[in-house]
Structure 1
Amino acid sequence: MTTTTRTAHAPARIDWAGLAWMFLFFWYFSGVTQLLIQVTGTAGFAGFRQAFLLSGLWLIPLLLFPAHTRRLAALLGGLLWLCSLAGFGYFLIYGQEFSQSVIFILFESNVAEGSEYLAQYFAWWMVPAFLAYGLGAWLLWRRVRPVYLPRRGALLASLLLLATILGYPALRQFSKHEDPAVALEKFEQRLEPATPWQLLVGYRQYRRQLEGMQALLASNAAIAPLQRLRDSHGEQPATLVLVIGESTNRQRMSLYGYPRATTPRLDALRDQLQVFDNVITPRPYTIEALQQVLTFADQQHPERYLTTPSLINVMKQAGYKTYWITNQQTMTKRNTMLTTFSRQADEQVYLNNNREQNARQYDEDVLAPFAKVLSEDAPRKFIVVHLLGTHMSYQYRYPPAFEHFTDRQGAPASVSADQLPTYNAYDNAVRYNDFVVASLIERFSASDPNGFLLYLSDHGEAVFDAPKPAVLGRNEAAPTSPMYTVPFILWNSPRWQASHPRDFAAALSRPYSSADLEYTWSDLAGLHYDEFDASRSLVNDAFRARPLLIGNPAQPRNLIDFSLIKPKPRNDDEVAQREAPGRLTVPPPG
């Protein structure tokens, strides 16, 4: 008689419950934080999904060595728990997802600053929260048990997990991108939401971006100062504020005639403001636009952002203490240039350390540090406030209290039912942006300053607007006017206006590109130097209108005049006054 034997370590059935407890244990260290992010609506679903998938990697050593399951789970779980404390604690304190920007802040802070942050944010409930978090991990570890598979089955399952979780995503990225560095970066983005990769990948990215930023800062430090800089206002105390918005199209602001009340606070301040209604941005992307807006670069000389002083450099040379307060992401590949601009200032305040833009990070966070800087004892201050503004995704840009537009009232008939939620969300974001900008003006005014505040947006945004109501976002290859029309608003303090009286009436409708902001800002601040060109200052009597060039300056013969895409004027007189020639042939920069 033949008998079939089966060892205790090779059961016929798979212990699915045991596998589930293993997975849940390892998921815990990334999943709890990601679950909190989802429940609070802080960020999108991508991070939660990736953390869920990546948790399966830790099953591999337990499947291969089932006899050591408990010890391996304890060892790996202990390491993951320690690594996860950074992300878990950071979310509890700031309500944000841990990212390489946080690593940047940590390494750029000294011990005293770190102690100050701990003292400011530490609360009694954090101790039981961390203890409960650790207790949850321990309780799950107690449920972990060995799952025995045939040796060949364990190897096959491990290879399948490895291929599915890491192999296929890596192969997909490296086959899709010719540049290995780009492929690696995209692959790393899939790892970053999970523990411990958020620390490892974040630190590697931080080091890489830091090197690029340090090179740019070294290059900036070598730039020669402006020649014979002189201040017509002498050494008198002054506070000058530049507020940079994000993705805000002035055509969606009631201050500029939009039928919905998207800017009630600025509308109420209208008599105190100089509202310029014919300003455009040269590029529809933040970095490319600000490389021109904040330097002497322009569409015909785009490389000058590397060889000429930035606005921060100019103000420092003029004797101002400089500050940069930002609610933009701090240290990412895309934002290295922004961080470089900020690091040129004497002091920086970084508020947004989220891993992704699709996160609830509200611009009112800039108000407290702005008030603190205003109160500092420095006779001459230049303050840059960089907002997240109305950046996509719009529903993350405003708190629930600002969900004002919820139906079709006031929306164009061309907006479809599917488009309406996004259309309304953008208008709500504009309304919240109005609250923030007006609050900055009001707080500035309350300090009785001798100075002015200028607000503009880096670029606009098309959100189902005429003349192409199907377009959402920005595309330089297929431009529409909402991508380029930006608000440009000046508030002068009574003291400044009394000391430097100026009539802006003739300047309010001049066609102007924000690429020439440095000349206008210098003129407003009373700064003159050999390189100053009065014809490029929007507020100067010597102003000369130029074609408003848009497009990619890397392809200069494809640059066009904005008049080709701007909305049709209302009457024949405006047509005769503003009509411009067709596509421009722009000579190479020289």
Structure 2
Amino acid sequence: MIKKLPQSRPLAVVLLLCLLLLLLSPQYLVLQRGQDLGPWLRLGMLPALLLLLVLLSLQRSFGRSVWLLLPLALLVPQEWFYQLTYGKATDAHAMAIIAETDLAEAAGYLSGIGWLLFAALLGILLLFGLTSSVLLAAQLHWPRYLRPLIWGCAMTGVGWVVMQERQYAIDYPVVQQADATQTALSRRPLPQSHNLFYQSFPLNLVLAGNEYRVQQQALSQVAAQSRDFRFGAAQPEVLGERQIYVLVIGETLRPDRLQLNGYPRATTPELASIPGVVSFKNMISPWAWTRMSVPVIISRKTAADHSYFFNEKSLVAAFAEAGFRTYWLSTQSPLGVHDSSVALHASEADEVQYLNPVGYKKEGFYDAVLLDAFRRVLARNEQKQLIVLHTLGSHFSYTDRYPPEFDRFLPSGKGQKIGMHDRANRELLNNAYDNTVLYTDFVVSGLIKQLQSQQAIASLLLVSDHGENIFDGNCDKSGHGHNTEFDYRVGALWWGSELFSKQFPQKTQQLNKAAQLPLMTGQTFHTMLQLADIHYPSQQTAISFADPAFRPQSRKLWTGIDFDRAAKSGQCRILPQGQTSTNPSGNK
């Protein structure tokens, strides 16, 4: 028996320490990413160790309490893989991916290592069984004074976190706060300076789980406000052919970087070779931030509406009312300040798939994962389908948006950390950006080719959310949100199948005419419904640029300024400020 061995107590201590080291081992990866030792120990290791000690102290016998650590230990292999692959700790985004999407399709990033994962989990179970047996045999117990001391330290730590949160709310109040729901969706529970705290495994799982819970509750509250909203939409004429309508929401795509629009580089060779592709050369977005610009694309929300959430549903709901099966496929995020207003409308779809395990902050999966998901949806052969695809497109970091085989415009700095705001990187940034456009060409042309293989009335409309500055000319600005002409000009294009052109020759003719007209992304909602011949009582068909009655409108930006009439000054082509407002949460 182990308890008769004189070395059983030392062995028990060694095995217990091994378990603790196993549970803390993902912290090593955080340190390897360039963190300073002091903050890492204070905000990473110490809180995580304190959490483990609290769990261990819930029972006086170590042999029994050690099993409370098993669920966390079984997640260690996944955490190692996630951090090694994506360079970040598991967060609320990752939890939302797992909770809201078919894991087999969208979060299959563990595929190919199943046997290794199984071996690791088996090893952990054996280690726990051995450790518990040895601890019980050694009769190792907590000294009576230590457990209250650990609980006191834990309470002190929780109090410190609460104080930090309250101070952060005072120092950095939410700008344009509409209600408590917006607050919950507009910032993290702790300031950005506490990122180490959020990367501290296994504490990050607790924090991420809470953040996911808070944001889901907030989204549910907002969704409840429009739950009973109805357009009264219908498709009066039942068409005999299968119908597939696709909306691709682009990201940071500039129209002047498209070969289709005369750009000298071959950035859209695939699309240029497809007959019937119409590029809208003069479209603008009234907003330069995703969280505000995308709702304008997919709903009737206007540029003048500065609220974070819109009190109506989107075109997804309108298509559903007209009898369409609706899908939302995305490589962006399901939660967060930049994404919640979009996710609210995405949730209107019959089926939602978030396909990128890490969102936009890391390399993650490329937009081509949408092609397989799109193929699976088409294979269902449903009579009426609406498919919305939300891409990462050309979102910075540009080099994270495409695989090595599309690194054709050189030098691009792929594989390096390239600062967006350092003008010395101008050539690298511009080459990398053009590579993202080339990759978007590959993805969008792939979608069209799949539609071409269907015997269907099919339409694909791509509209980007906003533009981008890339040190144009002598301009010293990069990124977006600078109120320049480059912020607001967006890439957009349309393709229709032969059956669509036969069914709707006037619409096809009008769309070709619109290629040269001044357009706005806010006309997309009306155009999508017009393309599908969907009608509702308060419909304004003349706003649709697919309608022969369409006439260009005054193009007002979120500032109230008329884009076309306003003077644009300097190399950066800056517009007047107008009714300015602060960008409340960063630059996306």
Normalising by the residue count of structure 1, what TM-score does the alignment of the two structures yield? 0.74
Q: Is the 8 A contact 1:30 1:51 kept in 2?
A: no
Q: Is the 8 A contact 1:295 1:310 kept in 2?
A: yes
Q: 1:584 to 1:176 in 2, by over 3 A?
A: closer
Equivalent runs, 1:128-277 vs 2, <5 Å: 128-130=119-121, 173=168, 176-178=171-173, 182=187, 184-186=189-191, 189-226=195-232, 229-232=234-237, 234=239, 236-269=241-274, 271-277=275-281
- The residue that corresponds to 1:126 in the other structure is 117
Equivalent residue of 1:54, what SS? helix
- The residue that corresponds to 2:13 in the other structure is none
- Alpha-carbon deviation of 1:363? 0.9
Letter in 2 for 1:127: F
Please point out which of 287, 292, 305 is paired with 1:283.
287
Please point out which of 434, 438, 444 is paired with 1:437.
444
Q: Distance in 2 between matches of 1:316 and 1:63?
A: 52
Q: Is the 8 A contact 2:304 2:558 kept in 1?
A: no
Q: Distance in 1 between matches of 2:494 and 2:52?
A: 64
Q: 1:29 to 1:374 in 2, by over 3 A?
A: same
Equivalent runs, 1:56-455 vs 2, <5 Å: 56-57=46-47, 82-83=71-72, 85-86=74-75, 88-89=77-78, 92=81, 95-96=85-86, 98-108=90-100, 123-130=114-121, 173=168, 176-178=171-173, 182=187, 184-186=189-191, 189-226=195-232, 229-232=234-237, 234=239, 236-269=241-274, 271-301=275-305, 306-354=310-358, 357-407=361-411, 417-455=424-462
Q: Distance in 1 between matches of 2:81 and 2:296?
A: 39
Q: 1:50 to 1:234 in 2, by over 3 A?
A: farther
Q: Is the 8 A contact 1:460 1:485 kept in 2?
A: yes
Letter in 1 for 2:265: R
Q: Is the 8 A contact 2:394 2:433 kept in 1?
A: yes
Equivalent residue of 2:328, what SS? strand
Letter in 1 for 2:218: G
Q: 1:286 to 1:30 in 2, by over 3 A?
A: farther
- Alpha-carbon deviation of 1:518? 1.2
Letter in 2 for 1:485: R
Q: Distance in 2 between matches of 1:380 and 1:47?
A: 55
- The residue that corresponds to 2:561 in the other structure is 559
Equivalent runs, 1:459-474 vs 2, <5 Å: 459-466=466-473, 468=475, 470-474=476-480
Q: Is the 8 A contact 2:251 2:395 kept in 1?
A: yes
CA RMSD of aligned residues (A): 5.0
Q: Distance in 2 between matches of 1:534 and 1:312?
A: 18
Q: 1:435 to 1:139 in 2, by over 3 A?
A: farther
Equivalent residue of 2:490, what SS? coil
Q: Is the 8 A contact 2:412 2:429 kept in 1?
A: no
Q: Is the 8 A contact 2:329 2:352 kept in 1?
A: yes
Equivalent residue of 2:75, what SS? helix
CA offsets 1:262-282 (integer angstroms, 9 cap, x no match): 22222332x330111111111
- Structure 2 unmatched runs, 5+: 1-15, 135-145, 175-182, 414-421, 581-588
CA offsets 1:140-163 (integer angstroms, 9 cap, x no match): 9x9xxxxxxxx9xx99xx99x979
In the alignment, does 2:552 pair up with 1:534? no
Q: 1:444 to 1:62 in 2, by over 3 A?
A: closer
Q: Is the 8 A contact 1:327 1:366 kept in 2?
A: yes
| Count of aligned residue pairs for this structure pair | 528
Q: Is the 8 A contact 2:297 2:524 kept in 1?
A: yes
Letter in 1 for 2:211: Q
Q: Distance in 2 between matches of 1:62 and 1:240?
A: 52
Q: 1:81 to 1:518 in 2, by over 3 A?
A: same
Letter in 1 for 2:201: T
Q: Is the 8 A contact 1:479 1:565 kept in 2?
A: no
Same amino acid, percent of matched pairs: 24
Letter in 2 for 1:212: A
Equivalent residue of 2:495, what SS? strand
- Alpha-carbon deviation of 1:215? 2.0
Q: Is the 8 A contact 2:280 2:493 kept in 1?
A: yes
Equivalent residue of 1:200, what SS? helix
- Structure 1 unmatched runs, 5+: 1-21, 143-150, 410-414, 553-557, 569-580
Q: 1:508 to 1:174 in 2, by over 3 A?
A: closer
Q: Distance in 2 between matches of 1:479 and 1:282?
A: 10
Q: Distance in 1 between matches of 2:402 and 2:125?
A: 34
Q: 1:183 to 1:497 in 2, by over 3 A?
A: closer
Normalising by the residue count of structure 2, what TM-score does the alignment of the two structures yield? 0.74
CA offsets 1:95-129 (integer angstroms, 9 cap, x no match): 4553223433444579x979x97997773232234
Q: Distance in 2 between matches of 1:45 and 1:444?
A: 46
Q: Is the 8 A contact 1:560 1:584 kept in 2?
A: no
Q: 1:402 to 1:207 in 2, by over 3 A?
A: same
Q: Distance in 1 between matches of 2:51 and 2:379?
A: 58
Q: Distance in 1 between matches of 2:360 and 2:65?
A: 28
Letter in 1 for 2:434: D
Equivalent residue of 1:207, what SS? helix
Q: Is the 8 A contact 1:297 1:303 kept in 2?
A: no
